[in-house]
Structure 1
C-alpha cells in the first residue's frame, strides 16, 4: 500500500459506530478475567507481527533496513505496546483477584503535599535492564494514600459501567501511540474504540488490524484510514461519546472550535463546535536545563550526545523532543559544551527529514533567525544560539518546530540560583507543558540536596527527567504520560488528560525520572550505582536495532536465558 493510497475509502462510518455500540454492551458483561485474556491475545499478536510492523515503519520513515536507527522503530513501536500490555494485564489480574492494585509498590512523599509512587524499576528484570534508572508518579497535592489506593483501577473498578464509543485520532510520528491510546480508552475509559489513523500511518493498517484482531472480532475496536474528513465526521458523530487525539494544538482547535473566524467567534462565546469530552496529547516546546558544574571531557561528550538525541530522535519529529537548551552564561565550560554539542549534532547518523512539512518548518525557523547555524550531518539540522528569554516576541519559545532545530538560551548564575531561574523561565516563557529535562553532575545534585526535588515540584511539566530523557517516561508503562494538569479547551497547550498509566492511577500530576549521569563502565568507576551502558535510545547507539529486536522478544516472553544476548548486544552499542 502506497503512502498516498487511502484506506477504506468507502467505509460506512455509521455502521462502524453502530457495531462498536453493540460491542460496548457485550464489553459491559465481560468479567475482568476475560478482559485480561483478550489483552493477552493482542500482546501475542503484536509479538507475532512485530517484524512486519518494523519493516513497514522503516519504509515509511525512509530508513535503510540495515541502519541501527531501525532500533527506534522496534523500541517506540512493538516493544512499547507489548511492555504496556504486560503491565496492564498485571493490573487487571489484581483487580480480578480482588487484590490491591498498588500492593508492593513504594508510596512516599513528594514536595507540596504530594505522594510519589515508585513505578520503575518494577521487578528484577527492570533492575537489570534499566539499572540506575528510576521513575515515580507524583500525585496532585493533597491526595491521601487511602484515596490513591482506593481509586486505582479507573474504569475497571466498575466494569459494567461502560462509557460509550471513543474515537482515537492517531499520531503519525511514533507508531505505538495509536495502539497505546486505543488500549487506554478501552481499559481506563471503559469505552469501545474506533481508531482513525493519520494518513502517514495508513501502510500500517493491515498490521494494526492483525494486532487488534481479537478485539475487532468482539466489536470492541475498529481501525480506519482516510483523511481529515473521516476524522471530523467521526469526532462529530452522535454515536461517538468521547474523543482522544495526539497531534498539534492547531488540529485540536480545529476539531473543538472549527476554523477561521468561526473558531474565534466560538471561543469568544464559549460555544465549542465539539460538545463531548476530549482528551489530548499535543506536544510543545520542551526545555533541557543544564545546571553548571565541573565536568570531565568524557562527561561533556556524553551529555552533548544526550542533548543531541533529545533533538534528533525520529528526525526531531517528536512531541517530547528537547527544543530549548537553557544553559548558564557563567558556566566556565559553556563554550566547551556547545562545541561538543555542535559536534554531536553533526556526527549523528544521517536520516531523511521524513515527516511531512519538516523542510518548511526548518526554513521558517532559519528565516526568523538570521544567525541560525546549519551544523551539518543533514541539511536540516539547525542550531539557534543567543536566544533571549526576556524577548516576548521570540518565536522559538512559542512554536514547536517538530524537526531537527535546537535553540540555546542563556541565564546567569550557578547552583540553586541558576536552577530556580531556569525553572521560572521554562514555566513562564515556553509554550506547552509535556516534558522538561534537567542535566546535572552528581556532585551538583549532592550540593543541591532537597532543593532539587523542590525545583522539580515547581517545574510545571507532565514528565520531568533528571539525567534521563523524558522519552523514557513514554516507554515506562506504569508511568503516566501527558501534559501538566490545568489546561482548558480554550488554551489547550500540551493537552488534557493522561495516557499509558498501566496501574490505572487516578489523581496523577506528573512522572519524574532519574537516570545515571554517565554510562557504564565510567559510572561504576566514579561511584554511581549503575551498570547501564549507553542508552538504547541514543541516536549514536551502534547496536540499537539488534538490541531493540531482542528486547521486544524478551518483553513478550521474559526468560532468564535471553538476557546474556541482550546484555552482549547492549554493551556493543
Structure 2
C-alpha cells in the first residue's frame, strides 16, 4: 500500500506501477490451477475479515450497529464479493477441465435474434435461496449459442497472454464495487491492477489489504489512496494501459476530456485528452415503470415499499437507484398507488447523508420544483414539467420523481419504454412492475416491448440491483455509447461466466412475497427480500447469506430461511 504525501509528485503511483510491471510476469506464469488457488484464498480471507468490513462500512455510512439496515452492508459487501469469487472459480475450473464455462447452463432464444443464457437459478442452492427469482443474460443480436460457448472464458482461455497494467478508480458508495472491478480486470482481461480507492472508502484500506494479501505480495494488485492528484497520476502514468472508473458521467468526462469549459469544448469536438482505452460504470436516471392493472390494497402497499427500496436503499447513493417512477395517467388506481407511495416514502428509516454533495443535490431538486414534497429527510417530486430536469439530472440521493404517460396495457408500456429511452439520461438499469394477470394478458408481446428498452439490466418485478448481486450476470450500461457521450458507461463488469458479445441482463421476480404469493396463485417461496428497507431481520439474514456464500452447505439453509421469513 502507498499513500500520497503533500508536496510530493507521484512516487506512490510510480513505485506501485513498477511493482505491477514485474507482477505481470508472475501473473503470466500462473496456471489456471494456481489462479483457482488464489481465488480460494481470497474467499477465505474475505470471510475472515467480513465482520470488520461491515463494521467499517457502517462507520462510513453512520449506521447504528443494531440497525436492520446493516444488512445492506452484508449483502452488497461481503456477500456480493464472496458470490463473485465462487462463481469465477467455477468458470476457471471448467476451463481447467477443458470445458466451456457455459457447460451446464440453459440457453434459449430471446427477441430480436438474441440468445439468452439463464444465469439464475444455476445451482440447487440458487433455486432454494432465491425461489421465484430468475435472470438471463441476453447476447447481442445475431450471436449464436455456439459463438457464446466458444468465446466464454475471455482472457482466461489464454492465461499466459497478459493485458498489461490497468487502473481501477474505485467507487465511494457500495464497498464491493472496487474489489469486484479489480477481479474483473484480472480475470476477464488478464490485467494486473492498480486500485485507487475513493477517499470516502479509505478506512477500508486495511481490510482490502488483508483480503488481497495473496495478490499483493507477488505484485498482481496494488492499492493506493489519496486525492485527485493521485488519481490523475495513475490515469496518466505511461505504463498504465487501461482505465476503469465507477462514478458519475461528470467524473468520467473530466478524466477523459479535462475539467471546466475547455474540457466541455473538447467533449463537444470528441477530442479526448486521455487516449487510453477506458471502461466505466456511471449511473444515470433510472426508471421504474408501473404497468396499470387491477391491484389489491396489499399489492399497492407492497409494491410501494418495493419502489421506495429501489430509491432509498443506501439512502439513494446507488448508481442504479430508481429516480423516476413512470405511471399511467389513465390508471384507475393511480391515486391509490401514489398515496401508498407517499406513506412508504415517509415511513422508511432515516439515514445520515454521508455521501458528499447530497444535501446540495437535494436542495437543488427542491429549488427546481416549487411543488416538491418534503418527507422527513427526503424529497418527492410529482409536479414535473415536460423535459423536466429530473429526467436528466442524477440527484444521487433521497429524491424520487413521478412522471405520467397515457395509456393502458401494451399501449402504455410501449409509451413508457419510449419515454425512458428518449427522455431519461443513462442506460444502466430500468425496472418494470407488472401484475401477473396483466403480464398474461400482454403475452409474448411483453418480451418484444422489453427488448426495445435500451438498458444494461432490466428488472421485472425485481429491482435491477438483483442483477448486481447475481455474480454470473453482466453489469453495466447498454452497449454502444461513444466516449464523448458515455451515458451510463462503456463495457461490463462482474460477468463471472466470462461471456463475450453480451447486451443486457433481464431479471424476473415475484409480484408478491410468500405466503401471499402462493395464496394468490404465484408459485414462489420468497418472502419480503432482505434488501427491502422495511425488512426487520435484514442484518441477520445478510450475515447468514454471506456466511453461506463463503462455504455453501445444506446445514446453513434452515437458519437463513427462518431469519428471512421473520423479515
Same fold per TM (> 0.5)?
yes
2:314 corresponds to = 314
- 1:363 CA drift (Å): 0.1
2:64 corresponds to = 64
| Contact 2:100–2:153, Cα closer than 8 Å, also in 1 | no
Q: Which moved more, 1:300-309 or 1:555-564?
A: 555-564
SS in structure 2 at match of 1:67:
coil
What does the per-residue CA deviation read over 1:135-166, in whole Å, with 9 as the maximum and x for residues that have no partner? 00000000011111111111101111111001
SS in structure 2 at match of 1:229:
helix
SS in structure 2 at match of 1:539:
coil
| Contact 1:386–1:410, Cα closer than 8 Å, also in 2 | no
Q: Separation in 2 of the partners of 1:269 and 1:304?
A: 44
- 1:20 CA drift (Å): 0.3
Q: Separation in 2 of the partners of 1:540 and 1:264?
A: 42
What does the per-residue CA deviation read over 1:433-482, in whole Å, with 9 as the maximum and x for residues that have no partner? 00000000000000000111111100000000000000000000000000
2:522 corresponds to = 528
- Structure 1 residue aligned with 2:493, among 492, 496, 499? 499
Q: Separation in 1 of the partners of 2:352 and 2:27?
A: 43
2:389 corresponds to = 395
Q: Separation in 1 of the partners of 2:274 and 2:76?
A: 31
Aligned residue pair count:
562
| Contact 1:69–1:539, Cα closer than 8 Å, also in 2 | yes
| Contact 2:131–2:524, Cα closer than 8 Å, also in 1 | yes
SS in structure 1 at match of 2:484:
coil
SS in structure 1 at match of 2:490:
coil
- 1:262 CA drift (Å): 2.4
SS in structure 1 at match of 2:479:
coil
SS in structure 2 at match of 1:386:
coil
Residue ranges of structure 2 left out of the alignment (5+ in a row):
none
- 1:264 CA drift (Å): 3.2
2:383 corresponds to = 386
Q: Separation in 2 of the partners of 1:271 and 1:526?
A: 57
Find out whether 1:562 has 2:556 as its counterpart: yes
Q: Separation in 1 of the partners of 2:284 and 2:208?
A: 28
Q: Which moved more, 1:185-194 or 1:351-360?
A: 351-360
Pairwise mapping of residues 336-347 of structure 1 onto structure 2 (< 5 A)? Answer: 336-347=336-347
1:416 corresponds to = 410
Q: Separation in 2 of the partners of 1:353 and 1:98?
A: 50
Q: Separation in 2 of the partners of 1:502 and 1:181?
A: 11
| Contact 2:268–2:484, Cα closer than 8 Å, also in 1 | no
Pairwise mapping of residues 447-466 of structure 1 onto structure 2 (< 5 A)? Answer: 447-466=441-460
2:90 corresponds to = 90
- Structure 2 residue aligned with 1:425, among 406, 419, 423? 419
| Contact 2:325–2:401, Cα closer than 8 Å, also in 1 | yes
Residue ranges of structure 1 left out of the alignment (5+ in a row):
1-5
2:126 corresponds to = 126
SS in structure 2 at match of 1:455:
helix
Pairwise mapping of residues 72-87 of structure 1 onto structure 2 (< 5 A)? Answer: 72-87=72-87
TM-score by length of 2: 0.98
- 1:275 CA drift (Å): 1.3
Pairwise mapping of residues 198-213 of structure 1 onto structure 2 (< 5 A)? Answer: 198-213=198-213
- 1:568 CA drift (Å): 0.6
Pairwise mapping of residues 72-471 of structure 1 onto structure 2 (< 5 A)? Answer: 72-376=72-376, 379=377, 381-388=378-385, 391-392=386-387, 394-471=388-465
SS in structure 2 at match of 1:22:
helix
SS in structure 1 at match of 2:507:
strand
SS in structure 2 at match of 1:486:
coil
Q: Separation in 2 of the partners of 1:528 and 1:269?
A: 53
- Structure 1 residue aligned with 2:484, among 490, 496, 510? 490
- 1:350 CA drift (Å): 1.5
Q: Deviation above 4 Å: which 4+ runs of structure 1?
A: none
Q: Separation in 2 of the partners of 1:536 and 1:370?
A: 36
Q: Separation in 1 of the partners of 2:295 and 2:540?
A: 32
Q: Separation in 2 of the partners of 1:264 and 1:348?
A: 39
TM-score by length of 1: 0.97
SS in structure 1 at match of 2:280:
strand
Pairwise mapping of residues 14-29 of structure 1 onto structure 2 (< 5 A)? Answer: 14-29=14-29
Q: Separation in 2 of the partners of 1:269 and 1:529?
A: 54
